[in-house]
Amino acid sequence: MDKDKFFSNDPRFKVAKKEAWIGVGLVLFNFVWWFAFAYGLGSKSPDEYTYILGFPSWFFYSCIGSLIVMSILVIVVVKYFFKDVPFEEEVQDIQNQSDKKSS
């Protein structure tokens, strides 16, 4: 049946699933960071704001900060946790490769 092709024991699918979860984790972290700084530091009158490089601190951490932090995180995650797998039908090849690595 067709479905089996979608959910076979193809080792590449395991890799894919893990990386999809990493994506979900990153978004959750991203959201918490963004939300906590924006509303944690921003929910008071502007007279009481502190400023960083001219920006209100809530904005600096929440928007500029999240861009920098997420960029670094994404680079680290992709470089160290994401695996190269072939997209074409060469399942044999990955097995060979991993055999070589382990030996």
Partner 1 sequence: MQEYFLGSRSMGGFILAMTMMATYGSASSFIGGPGIAYSTGLGWVLLSMAQLPAGYFVLMVLGKKFAIVSRRYEAITLNDFLKSRYESQWVGILAAISIIIFLFSSIAAQWVGGARLLESLFNITYPIALTIFAFSVMIYVIIGGFRAVALTDTILGSIMFFGTLILLVAVIIAGGGVTNIMEKLIAIDPGLVMPFGADGNLSASYVSSYWILVGVGVVGLPQIAVRAMSHKNSKSMHHAIIISTVFVGIIMLGMHLIGVFARAINPSIAVADSVMPTITMEVLPPFLAGIVLAAPMAAIMSTVNALLIMVSSAVVKDIYLSYFNPQAPDQKVRSISYLVTAILGVIVYLMALSPPDFLIWLNLFSFGGLEAAFIWPVVLGLYWKRGNKYGAISSMIVGVTSYILFHQFYPNAFGMHTVVLPILLSLVTFVIISIVTEKKELLQAVHK
Q: Which of 66, 58, 56, 60 is nearest to 27 (CA)?
A: 66
Does 61 bind partner 1 (CB under 8 A)? Our answer is no
What string marks each residue from 40 to 59 as x (binds partner 1 by CB under 8 A) or -?
--xx-xx--x-x-xxxx-xx
Q: CA-CA distance, 46 to 66, in Å (whole number)?
A: 22
Rounded to an integer, what distance in angstroms lies between the CA atom of residue 81 and that of residue 75?
A: 10
Q: How far is the CB of 98 from partner 1 (least distance, A)?
A: 15
- What's the min distance (Å) between Cβ of 92 and partner 1? 15
Q: Tell me: does residue 80 bind partner 1 (CB under 8 A).
A: no
